[in-house]
Structure 1
Amino acid sequence: MAISFTTKLTWIFALLLILVRTIQVRAQPPPGFINIDCGWKNSSGYVDQPLVLPYSSDGDYVEGGMNHEMLPEFMADASNEQQKTLRSFPDGSRNCYTLPSNISKKYLLRATFTYGNYDRLNKTLDGSLFLFGLHIGVNFWEAVNLSNWDPSLTVWKEVITIAPSNFVSVCLINFGSGIPFISSLELRPLEDTMYPFVNTSVSVSYFKRYRFGNVAEYITRYPTDSYDRFWESWSLAVPYSYPWISLNTTNKVESIPGSDDFNVPLAIMQNASTLDTNYSFMAVAVATSPNLDAKSLQLLPIFHFAEINGSNPNRRFDIYSAEDMLFRDFSPSRFQVDSMYKGGEFLRNAYAYFSLNKTANSSLPPSINAFEVYSLVRMQNLTTDSDDANKIKEIKTQYNLGRLSWKGDPCSPRNYIWEGLTCDYKSLQNPRIVTINLSSSGLGGGFARLFLNMTSLENLDLSHNNLTGAIPDYQPKSLKVLDLSNNKLDGPIPDSILQQVQAGLLDLRLVGNPVCSNNKDVYCSDKTTKKNTTSVLLIAVIVPVVLISLLVGMFILWKLYWKGKSGDNEDYAMYEEETPLHIDIRRFTYAELKLITNNFKSIVGKGGFGIVYHGTLENGDEVAVKVLMETSIDESTDFLPEVQTLSKVHHKNLVTLQGYCQNKKCLALVYDFMPRGNLQQILRGGDIYSLDWEQRLHIALDAAQGLEYLHESCTPSIVHRDVKTANILLDKNLVGVISDFGLSRAFNDAYTHISTVAAGTLGYLDPEYHATFQLTVKTDVYSFGIVLLEIITGQPPVFNDPQTVHLPNWVRQKIAKGSIHDVADKRLLDQYDASSLESVIDLAMNCVENAAIDRPSMTEVISRLRVWLPALSSDKQSASGTPRRKYSMDSEIPKQFQMMISGVSNEGTSFQSGYTGGLTEISMFSGR
C-alpha cells in the first residue's frame, strides 16, 4: 500500500509539472508578437489570463511621456489590464514608439485608447475637440477622435503595413486639440502572402471585420485567430430575427489550394448567415459616427464565403458596392473558402454599403461567413536615408541629446524634421541630412568621428559647446563648412582636414579653442575682425583714390539704376520684420524669394493684390509666389488673415501654404504650384481642351469638399467669403483646390452669424449678406452656386446678353423659354446625361436662393453631387502636396445596432436594442 500511495503521488506530481509547463509554454507569445501595456510601471510584466499572452511595460520602446491610471470608478468595468494604464505625451508635437521588426516583413499593428478620465479634466465630455493623430512610420495613418466619448470605452486602431527597416515606428501627433495618449500597442507578424494589396507604398487601416452566424462571444481573436485579428460577432451586433438564419457545420472548411491571401480561421468559416428562402437579398451598411470624416475614404471590401449547407444547394448571387457591380453570378464553393475582393481597387463608398442579391437562376438566397473592410493609407513619404538616420541617432545617444523634437524619423515628414537639421528632399530618393546645427547645445566629450563619416553632410556647426580632445584624423566625405569655434579642442589638426582646407574644399573655423593658442592660420582667426582690419588699412593707405573711384562708380550705377527698372537692386534685407508670425510654417526672406523665382522672371497671374510668380524650391518642388503690390502693403488687411488661416487648415482640396515673406517693402505668400491654372481660365477657353461633364462634376465636388471642411471641420468654422472660379486652382490631374483666403473670417458655432462689412466679388456676392452684413456659412453656399452655374454653362457670373444680366437670372429665363439643354455649355457637345444635368442645375439654383435659410449646407451639396458620380476614380489624387488625411472607423464594443427588414410591399419592421452611444451604426436589410 505504501508503494502504491507513493506511486500515486509521483504520478500526481508529474501531471502537475506537465500542466505547469504547458501553461508556461502557452504563455510564450508566438514568434514576432510584441505586447505592450503602455503606462505599466512594473518592469516584470504580467500574463493576460484570457489570452495567456505576456504583456510588458513600454519603457524600452519609447522616450518621454508620463504614466497614468484610469480613475478608480472605471477600473471595475475594464475588460483587460491594458485598459487600466496609459501613457500621455504632454510635451512635443511628435512622440514615437519604436518596435523591432524584420525589414520588408508584413505586420498587423494595433493601438488602443481608453481615456478613463485619468487627468480628472473630463476632456472627452467637456464639449471641446479632443483629437490627435497617428503616424505609421513617416506617413499619416489615422486620427483618434475622442470628442463626446464615454471615458470608459476603448477605441482601437489597426493598420496592416510593411516594415521599412529593422524597426517600425508608431507616432502620436499633437494637433493642439488634446494631449495624445495610448493604452496598449500590439505587433503581429503576418505571412508575406497575406493581404497581397499591401506593399511598400500602400498600407491599409482597419474599417470593420465581422464574422457571421450564431456566435457567443463578441470578439474572436487569439488563439482562435493565430494572427490575433479582431473579428466582431455580427449576430451580437444585430440580434438575429426572422428572416435571418444561422448556419454552422463541424466539417472542415479548407482554403482553395494556392489561396492563402487571408487565412481566415476554420472556426469562423464553419459559421454563416443566410435568409429565409422567401427573401432574395441581404445588405450590410456600416457608417461612421459624426466624430469622423469619411468623405475621402477609399475602401477595400473583402468577402469570405464557404457553402456549409449539408445538401448540394444551388446558391448564386451578385455582389454590389452601393449600386456598382463588384462580382456577377457568384456561387460559394462547398466546404472551401472563397475570398472575394477587387485586387488593389479601392472604392469610394463612404458609408460602406454592400449588398448580395440572389440571381434569377438561384434556388437559395445569399449567405456570408465573414467580411472585412479596410481604408487606404498611402505611404508616400520616404524615410531618411538609413545610413544618415543610424548615424544621427548614434550621435543623439553619444551626446545624450534629449531634445523634444528629436523623435521618430529625422527628416520625414517635413513638418516634423528634427530641430537643427536641414535635409535634402530629392524626388524619389530618401531624404539626406545636409546640415547639422548643434551650436550652443551643451555638447561635451570628444568630437564624434560619425559626423565626418556622413556622406551627404555639407555643413556642420558645433560651435559654442564643451568639446574636448583632438579632431579625429578622418577624410570628410562631402563637408564644406566645419564650425568648431569656441570649444576646448586641442592637439594637432589632422592632415586629412588641412588638405581639404588648403585645397579650398573646406571652410574650417576653430577660433576660441586651445588648439589655436599658437596658431595664426586663417581658420584660427576671427574672419570678420580680420576682414574689417584689412579694410580699414586699405582705406587708410589708398583712401583718396578709392573714394574718388567709388563716388564716380556709384554715380554711374545710380544713373543706370534709375534708367532701368527701379527698385530691383534695393537691399530689402534691411526691411525684414524682426518679429515673425507665430505660426509653424517657413518664413522666406526677400533674397530667398528672388532666388526661387529666378529674380521674379516668370509671371503666372496678376490681380489687384499684385503679381503671382512661378518658382522652384531648393528641393525641386514648384511653387507659386504671390507678391503684394508695395503700394497696397500699408493698407493690406488680407495678408495676415490668409497666412493665419492657411497655416491651420489642411485638406486635399485647400491650397497648401509653404511659407510667407514678411517684409516692410514686400509681403508674399508661397503656395504649391497648380500647373493647370484656375477653373475660370479653363471654362473661358484658356486650356488646350474643354472639360467634359464628368471632369466638371469632379472639380465641383472637390471645391465643395474643401468648403465643407472649412465650415464643418474647423473650430471655429471658417467662411471663405470669396468663392469663385478664379479661386479654384487645378493641379496636373485636374483636382480642384480652393485658394485665396484673404477675406476669410472665423466665427464660433455659438453664433449663427457675425457682422462685417460686405466683401467679395461682383456676381458671386450673397444678396442677403450684402443687404444685412450678416455673415454665415451660407454666404459661401451662394457663391458656390454661382460657381456651379459657371461649370454648367461656361458663362461668367455677369455678362451682356445683350444687356447686362446675372447668371442665375439668365438660367431661369433660358429654362422658362426652352429646355435645360439651352443652358449647357456648347463645348460639352451634348455629351452628358440629361437627368444628371437637370439635377445639378436644380442643386445650383437651390444654392442661390435669396434667403440663406433656403439654401442647402455644403454637406448636403456633397451628398447630392456624389449621386451623379457613383464611380469616382480611385487614382484621382491631388498633386498639390497637401497632406491627405484619411479617417477610418473608430472601433468599440457597441451598445446599439439597428436591423431593418423590408419586403416588396415596402412595409418593414425595425428592431432596436438599448442605445447608450457608439461609433458605428450597422444596418441589415433583406428583401423578397
Structure 2
Amino acid sequence: MSTKARWLLAFQLFLAATIIQVHALTPPGFTNIDCGFVDGESYTDSTTNLTYVPDHEFVEGGTHHEVVPKLISGSTDEQEKTLRSFPDGQRNCYTIPSTSGKKYLIRTTFTYGNYDGLRSSENGSLFLFGLHIGVNFWTTVNLTKQDSSDTIWKEVLTVAPDEFIYVCLVNFGSGTPFISALELRQLDDPMYPFLNLFVSVSYFTRMRFGAVDDFITRYPTDLFDRFWEAAQCYSYPWLNLTTNQTVNKLPGNDNFQVPTLIVQKASTINSGFSWLNISITAGDNLNGQSLELLPIFHFAEIEKNRPNRTFQIYSDGNELHQAFSPSYLQVDSVYLRDRYLHESGTTFTLCKTNSSELPPLINAFEAYSLVRMENLTTDTIDVSSMKQVKTQYNVQRRSWNGDPCSPKEYTWEGVKCNYYDGKQNPRIILVNLSASRLSGWINPSFRNMSLEILDLSHNNLSGTIPYNQVNSLKSLNLSYNQLIGSVPDYLFKRYKAGKPKEHDDYDMYEEENPLHSDTRRFTYTELRTITNNFQSIIGNGGFGTVYHGILGNGEEVAVKVLRETSRALSKDFLPEVQTLSKVHHKNLVTFLGYCLNKKCLALVYDFMSRGNLQEVLRGGQDYSLSWEERLHIALDAAQGLEYLHESCTPAIVHRDVKTANILLDENLVAMISDFGLSRSYTPAHTHISTIAAGTVGYLDPEYHATFQLTVKADVYSFGIVLLEIITGQPSVLVDPEPVHLPNWVRQKIARGSIHDAVDSRLMHQYDATSVQSVIDLAMNCVGNVSIDRPSMTEIVIKLKECLLAGTGKKQLVSGSYKQKDAMDAGIARQFQLLISGVPIVSNECISGGITELSYYSGSSTVEQVGA
C-alpha cells in the first residue's frame, strides 16, 4: 500500500471514529429537536455537545421561520435562531418515539424573535397558546407583553403511555402557536416516584444554592439535563458552604439523583439568625388558581466539625416536616408524599429548633405543579390501524394528527369514538372517508378495529372486498369504487336481512335504567300529554325548543326538548341532570324531572310566568322596571350564582349567564336557568378541555383566549347583565356600527354623565349614587384580567348596599366590596423564588439580569433572612 493510500485510510478511520464519538455524546433516551431547522441533517450544540436534528420527521404541517438576527445577535444557542409556526389547525402535534412505561423529562422552548414582523409579543394584544402532553392539558405559553428577544421554556415530567409521546400546540385564537426546540430526556425508573400514567408534574422552579459561577447548571453536570438556577445569595447574613468530599446518596434512595457537584455546595445563614423563607408565586405563564404544588427539598450536611443542626419546615405557618437534621455527606431529599399544596403561591419557612446549635441549611430546591392525566388515550390497536390507513392513503386532513379520539374536542374529522364513560380507552366505532380520493386496495387494518360504520364510498379503490368478517360492523358503504369480485357471503346475508323497521311508538325507546332516584322521570308519552302534543312553544334556542305544559295537579311547567343535533352531542345530558337534581336555591329555577328516551331527551322545570329578563328589559313602553325592581332582580341573580360558586361541592360554573337565562316569576323574583353548559369546578383544577362556550357579548375574553375556566367567567357575564339592567341596551349594539355594551357605556359617560347611560324608561327616578355604584361594580366585573374581578359573594354584598342606598334606607355595615390594590396586581409576574425576613437587612442578592431570567421562565431573587 502506498503512503498516500495509507494516509487516506488512516484519515477515514479517524473521521469515522470522530463521527461515532460525536454521535455518542448524545446519551440513550435523549431526543433533541431543533424546530424549524432545515439547513442540514444534524449539528452538535456548542454548549452541551448534544446532537440536534431537524423536526420534519416528528411533525406534520406548520412552516419554518428564522427569527430577526439582531434580536439574538449575542446568543450561542442555535435553537433560538429558527422555529416552526402553526397558522393552520386548532391542534398540531409532535410525535416522539418513547418506551412505554418509562419516565421522561420533556422541555419545550419558545423564542418569538419577531419572525413574522408583527411584534405580536409587544403590541399589547393577547399572545398565548396551549400545550398538551399526550391527550391532556399541560400548560399555557403566554408571550403577551414579552420582549421579542425573550425565550420562554416549559418542562413536564411524565410517563410514556405507549411507544410514542405526543406534544401538541393548541391554538386559542390569540396568536399563532410556534415552537423553537423540543427536548426529551429519559429518567431512571426510581426517579420522581410520584409519577405514573395518571399523574405528571410541570416545572415550577428548580434552584441550587452555594457559591455558583454559572447562572444555569445543566448537562453534562446533570446527566438528565435538568436546569438548575443559581440562587446567588452572596451578601450578609448569607454564608456559602463547599466541600470537595464526595456526597453520597442515602442507601437505596435513587428518587432524585441530584448531581454531586450541586450537593457539594449549600447556603446557610449567620448563626445570629434562626430562619429563612422560600416564597414561590405563580406568574403570567401560569393560572395560579389552578395550581397544586409539590415542593422538594434537598439537604446534605457538608460543614466539617459540625455541631447539631436541626430545623422544621413550614408552608404558610403549617408544618410540613418535623424536626429534620441533614446527614453528613449524604443527600436527603424531603417531599410531601401523596399531598399537594392547593396554592397559587406559598412561603416555606425553614426554622431551627430550640435545641439546634446551627441555623437551617439548604443545598437545592425543586417545585412542580400537578398535571392530571385524566383523559385516556385511544386504544393502541385503533391508533396503529389508523396510522396505517393514514400512511397508505396519504390522508391530508388537518385534524389527523395526535390521538384520534382524545381529547373529545379534537377528535379526527370523519371519526367517531366510544368513550365508555371514561372507564376504558376509547375505541373508534365510525370512520368516514367518503370522497377522500383514496386509491389502491382496501387496507386490512380496518378489520382489527371495533368499527360499527365504515364509509369508503366515492373513491377509486380497487381489488376485491376483504372476506374477513367484522362482527361489530353494522354499516359498510363501498359504492362508487373500482372493486371487483363477489360480495362476501356474510355481507350478503346481512344485506338480505336488512334492519327492523323503526316503530313510531316512542315508548319502546325508553332507556331501561332510571338516572336518579330522587328526581321524577317522565316518559315521552307523559310529556306529550303534559304539553298537549307539544302545541305551545314558549322558547327556542340552539339547544332545542321549550314548551308550556300543565301537570295533572294543575302545576304549570316548562319542558325543554333537545334538538336532534343536540342529542348527538348529549354526552353532557346525564351529568347535567345529576347536577340539577342536587342544587336547590330560591334563585335557581326548580328542576322537576327529565325524560331519558333514545329519541327524546328533555328537562322539566317550573314555569316562570313573567318570562326572561331580556324580554322584560326590552319589551316596549307598556311596562318598565323601576330602579328598585332592577336592583332586586340583580341581587336575586347574584345570589343564585353565589350559591353555585360557594355552596356547591364542587363549585359549578354556569358558563352562559345572560339576561335571557334569568327567568322571572309573577312577583319578579329572578331565577337562574339553563344549565346546559355548566361545568363543575375546583380551584385546583380549572383547565376544562372544551372550546370556550357561551353567548357572544357575554363571553369572558380571558376564558375565550385560554380555555382556562374559573368562576370569574360567570362574573364577567354577570357584569354585562348589570350593564343591561342599567341601560336597557343589549350586550352588543349594532346601530350605527357594532359596539360592545361596556364600550358604549364608557363612551356615554366620557361624553356626558352617567345619566346618559341609564335607561331612559327610568325617567330619572333613581338614586344617582346607587346607579354610579352599580356601574362601577359592573365595570369591575368585566375587567380583562379575571383575578381582578370581584367574587359573587363580594357582588352580593355590594348590591345589598346599593339596594339600601337606592331606596333611602339606612345602610347596614356588613362588609364592603374592595378593589385589589396595585400591590396585588404586581403578584401576577413571572415565577419568583424569594427568601425574605427582617427588613433591616439589605436585599442586594439578585439572581442575574432580566434577559437571563426570562430565558428560564421566571425571575428569581434572593433577599433577606430572619433573626
TM-score, normalization by structure 1: 0.67
SS in 2 for 1:922: coil
Point out where structure 1 has 5 or more consecutive residues left out of the alignment.
1-5, 508-526, 528-559, 581-585, 663-667, 677-694, 700-705, 728-741, 760-764, 791-795, 813-840, 848-854, 865-886, 892-896
Distance 1:446 1:262, change over 3 A: same
**Contact 1:596–1:618 under 8 Å retained in 2:** no
Match of 2:329 in 1: 335
Shift of 1:655: 2.6
Match of 1:245 in 2: 239
Match of 2:319 in 1: 325
Match of 2:533 in 1: 568
Shift of 1:466: 2.8
| Alpha-carbon distance between aligned partners in 2 of 1:636 and 1:191, rounded to the nearest angstrom | 64
How far does the alpha carbon of each residue in 1:474-523 deviate from its partner, in whole angstroms, 9 at most, with x for none?
2122011122333333321111211333344799xxxxxxxxxxxxxxxx
Match of 1:422 in 2: 416
Distance 1:479 1:56, change over 3 A: same
Match of 2:771 in 1: 768
| Alpha-carbon distance between aligned partners in 2 of 1:431 and 1:594, rounded to the nearest angstrom | 17
Matched, 1:260 2:254: yes
| Alpha-carbon distance between aligned partners in 2 of 1:159 and 1:596, rounded to the nearest angstrom | 31
**Contact 2:715–2:781 under 8 Å retained in 1:** no
Match of 2:556 in 1: none
SS in 1 for 2:206: strand
Match of 1:454 in 2: 449
SS in 2 for 1:371: strand
Which of 672, 676, 691 is matched with 1:671 structurally?
676
Shift of 1:859: 10
| Alpha-carbon distance between aligned partners in 2 of 1:331 and 1:53, rounded to the nearest angstrom | 39
Shift of 1:292: 3.7
**Contact 2:172–2:704 under 8 Å retained in 1:** no
Matched, 1:784 2:754: no
Which of 271, 294, 302 is matched with 1:308 structurally?
302
Q: Which amino acid aligns with 1:920?
A: S
How far does the alpha carbon of each residue in 1:829-868 deviate from its partner, in whole angstroms, 9 at most, with x for none?
xxxxxxxxxxxx6xxx121xxxxxxx3249999999xxxx
Distance 1:171 1:616, change over 3 A: farther
Match of 1:856 in 2: 819
Match of 1:922 in 2: 861
Q: Which amino acid aligns with 1:119?
A: D
Match of 1:910 in 2: 843
Distance 1:110 1:899, change over 3 A: closer
**Contact 1:110–1:187 under 8 Å retained in 2:** yes
Q: Which amino acid aligns with 1:925?
A: Q
| Alpha-carbon distance between aligned partners in 1 of 2:684 and 2:541, rounded to the nearest angstrom | 42
**Contact 1:284–1:924 under 8 Å retained in 2:** no
Q: Which amino acid aligns with 1:423?
A: C
Q: Which amino acid aligns with 2:478?
A: L
Query: What CA RMSD, in Å, does the superposition of the two structures yield over aligned residues?
Result: 5.3
Identity %: 40
Distance 1:909 1:414, change over 3 A: same
Q: After TM superposition, list the pairs within 5 Å mapping 1:343-742 onto structure 2.
A: 343-427=337-421, 428-455=423-450, 457-504=451-498, 564-568=529-533, 589=565, 655=653, 671=676, 710=700, 720=715
Match of 1:205 in 2: 202
| Alpha-carbon distance between aligned partners in 2 of 1:637 and 1:90, rounded to the nearest angstrom | 44
| Alpha-carbon distance between aligned partners in 2 of 1:606 and 1:567, rounded to the nearest angstrom | 30
Paired residues in the alignment total: 718
| Alpha-carbon distance between aligned partners in 2 of 1:35 and 1:775, rounded to the nearest angstrom | 50
Q: After TM superposition, list the pairs within 5 Å mapping 1:35-114 onto structure 2.
A: 35-114=32-111
How far does the alpha carbon of each residue in 1:209-238 deviate from its partner, in whole angstroms, 9 at most, with x for none?
011111111111111111111111111xxx
Distance 1:371 1:579, change over 3 A: same
Q: Which amino acid aligns with 1:355?
A: T
Point out where structure 2 has 5 or more consecutive residues left out of the alignment.
503-524, 546-561, 619-636, 661-672, 686-692, 707-711, 723-729, 733-739, 750-756, 762-767, 783-788
Shift of 1:58: 0.6
SS in 1 for 2:106: strand
SS in 1 for 2:864: strand
Matched, 1:136 2:130: no
| Alpha-carbon distance between aligned partners in 2 of 1:371 and 1:284, rounded to the nearest angstrom | 9
Which of 156, 160, 165 is matched with 1:163 structurally?
160
Distance 1:54 1:475, change over 3 A: same
How far does the alpha carbon of each residue in 1:133-154 deviate from its partner, in whole angstroms, 9 at most, with x for none?
0000000000000111122121
Distance 1:434 1:363, change over 3 A: same
Shift of 1:156: 0.9
**Contact 2:106–2:156 under 8 Å retained in 1:** yes
Distance 1:752 1:254, change over 3 A: farther
Match of 1:540 in 2: none
Higher radius of gyration, 1 or 2? 1
Distance 1:774 1:41, change over 3 A: same
Which of 184, 192, 196 is matched with 1:187 structurally?
184
Q: Which amino acid aligns with 1:102?
A: T
Q: Which amino acid aligns with 2:841?
A: G
Shift of 1:271: 0.5
Shift of 1:111: 0.7
Match of 1:689 in 2: none
**Contact 1:321–1:349 under 8 Å retained in 2:** no
SS in 1 for 2:158: strand
| Alpha-carbon distance between aligned partners in 1 of 2:95 and 2:684, rounded to the nearest angstrom | 40
Match of 1:762 in 2: none
**Contact 2:94–2:168 under 8 Å retained in 1:** yes
Q: Which amino acid aligns with 1:392?
A: M
Match of 1:846 in 2: 816
Shift of 1:899: 7.3
SS in 2 for 1:926: coil
| Alpha-carbon distance between aligned partners in 2 of 1:562 and 1:49, rounded to the nearest angstrom | 74
Q: Which amino acid aligns with 2:165?
A: V
**Contact 1:624–1:671 under 8 Å retained in 2:** no
**Contact 1:94–1:173 under 8 Å retained in 2:** yes
| Alpha-carbon distance between aligned partners in 2 of 1:304 and 1:425, rounded to the nearest angstrom | 42
| Alpha-carbon distance between aligned partners in 2 of 1:858 and 1:623, rounded to the nearest angstrom | 47
Distance 1:240 1:712, change over 3 A: farther
How far does the alpha carbon of each residue in 1:2-58 deviate from its partner, in whole angstroms, 9 at most, with x for none?
xxxx9xx99xx99x9599649815743111111111111034111112211111011
| Alpha-carbon distance between aligned partners in 2 of 1:367 and 1:143, rounded to the nearest angstrom | 34
SS in 1 for 2:166: strand
Shift of 1:768: 3.1
How far does the alpha carbon of each residue in 1:595-634 deviate from its partner, in whole angstroms, 9 at most, with x for none?
9979x99985899998757669999xx9979899899599
| Alpha-carbon distance between aligned partners in 1 of 2:148 and 2:489, rounded to the nearest angstrom | 65
Match of 1:234 in 2: 231
Shift of 1:192: 1.2
TM-score, normalization by structure 2: 0.71
Which of 149, 152, 161 is matched with 1:152 structurally?
149
Q: Which amino acid aligns with 1:856?
A: Q
SS in 2 for 1:908: coil
| Alpha-carbon distance between aligned partners in 2 of 1:487 and 1:382, rounded to the nearest angstrom | 36
Shift of 1:784: 2.8
Shift of 1:301: 0.5
How far does the alpha carbon of each residue in 1:341-360 deviate from its partner, in whole angstroms, 9 at most, with x for none?
01121112322421211111
| Alpha-carbon distance between aligned partners in 2 of 1:404 and 1:358, rounded to the nearest angstrom | 59
